[in-house]
A and B are shown apart, each in its own frame.
Chain A
């Protein structure tokens, strides 16, 4: 009996499935190329990470030819250059986050206070602009500005100091990295905050005013709590990316040189040098995979914490 019912249920399912496909086949057809794209260009490389455990020969299978276990992982764990890159990645990311995150929030709050709408729009337009500039041009600008004949050194000489060769002194790299990052992304970063602020119900401000709250009190008690979910989400994303060095790769690669590896070499640039320049493909992939997995774990933890604390999360 029960078998009979099961058969009935499953035929019913098949029928409704066929109906569904018949109704929506055009939508499914639209998806064919994009899904194929994701399989080839996103998932194949993901499985290609396998060569971290398998010896890869140039020209051989893209998934490697011979299983070698954790050999490459053991190798890089005792590689001092790897740990230097790991440390630099953390230091640069944390430093950048600590400077950029509050600045973005403060800048958004200040923009929100501008009364003259034309001036407000102008400030926004100008501050978003650096976001669209190619990293090649930004690094070119940085090099011009900090070069020994550039305006910063001219100013130093003007005030009686000695010229500094910023680009070849390791101690200056974090400063250059962080300040150029602030220049490029603080303005753009305000967009999501401003969007959240524009969604605040004006009656909340009126109620606060009736209760005797002054202007700054209203910002503190109405604006900030209203945008707290946005702040949390953005903070999660940033914390999840603290070990990630992919986003910074291009900038560091275009700015650094062997003289400043001490502070400038990050995981992705090290992976690049080992893998693509040095042809140690499997070794470099092991490092890259290690970074990717730590990143994923960090992001999951941050996401969980945010869901527990504020009810807003990425997934």
Chain B
């Protein structure tokens, strides 16, 4: 990543100019970091602020009238039920996504497979053209009759073509000799995939696990279209809180839910992502780069 680590002789004049640049660059980065983090800090602060202070318009970066009543209130209610739904959907969805994406990506990565000349365009074309919002809806509701089932939440996004392409690029980078050695040792094609390819693919599998689980965790749209109230994931429940009771989607907000409750629910929903994300950062950056500089 560091491109300029080697010391190169520079003119003195250039050096001062460059030093000034480094200082300015530092200030710009500091600004970016602060602007990025500010909304999160504001939300957390608001979730600890008392309702009275919020009504008086005193919310800021430091909570006024610090208390954890909001959390107690939210965690006592139905919030946990929806949270549990989200965890279940995310688990099931991510497993299914990983299995079927790798089942697709692995044969696609094999250049000796003749069928790929047809298969690759067949898959990639769907990235550029597809069903409209309406025909997708009609397929799920009328064609497959999946309304009010969890399948309607998971299936429409189960295989992401973009992620399949990333996986395919990774599988292609695995040395052929290793796989051939496996076949000589008596492994079948499928055995090579399970015993040799997958264990070597931990970085891309970790990346895909993160991407897919974030996708399921954050999704509200399929829930909004297809699920009943009991089945909602937390993202959509949260949306109904933000929107306010009694208001309809897309009609603007009713202001019946106070800001500290909204903030608290948002903090709780985003928390797992913020906790997990820095830990696996190095994997998904690798994964993205592989996809970006393929071939």
Contacts and interface: CB of A to CB of B under 8 A. Distances in A.
Contacts of B143: 44, 48, 62
Given A35-B104, A141-B43, A292-B129, 10 more contacts: A24-B110, A26-B188, A30-B193, A34-B100, A37-B158, A114-B29, A125-B281, A132-B214, A136-B239, A273-B250
B96 to A, nearest CB: 10
A296 interface: yes
B119 A31 contact: yes
B266 A140 contact: yes
Nearest to A204: B3
Q: Which applies to chain B's interface (DSSP): helix, strand, loop or mixed?
A: helix
Q: Which applies to chain A's interface (DSSP): helix, strand, loop or mixed?
A: helix
B256 interface: no
A144 B133 CA distance: 29
B18 interface: yes
A275 B3 contact: no
A202 B3 CA distance: 6
Given A30-B106, A196-B292, A275 B236 contact: no
Interface stretch (B62-70, B75-83, B271-279): B271-279
A299 interface: yes
A46 B236 contact: no
Interface of B: 1-4, 6, 8-11, 14, 18, 21-22, 25-26, 28-29, 32-33, 35-37, 39, 42-43, 46, 54, 57, 59-60, 100-101, 103-104, 106-107, 110, 112-115, 119, 122-124, 126, 128-139, 142-144, 155-156, 158-159, 188-190, 193, 214, 217-221, 225, 235-236, 238-239, 242, 249-253, 259, 262-263, 266, 269-270, 273-274, 277-278, 281, 285, 288-289, 292-293
Interface in A224-265: 230, 240, 246, 249-250, 253-254, 256-259
A27 B113 contact: yes
Scoring B4, B156, B217, B219 by chain A CB atoms within 10 A of each residue's CB, the highest score goes to B4
Contacts, number: 297
B132 A285 contact: yes
B189 A27 contact: yes
Nearest to B191: A26
B159 A26 contact: no
Contacts of B277: 129, 132
Contact of A276 (B123, B189, B225, B238): B225
Contact of B3 (A20, A112, A272, A296): A112
Interface stretch (A80-88, A91-99, A115-123, A169-177): A115-123
Contact of B28 (A110, A197, A296): A110
A53 interface: no
A119 B29 CA distance: 9
A137 B251 contact: no
B29 A44 contact: no
A297 to B, nearest CB: 10
A127 B249 CA distance: 30
A67 to B, nearest CB: 17
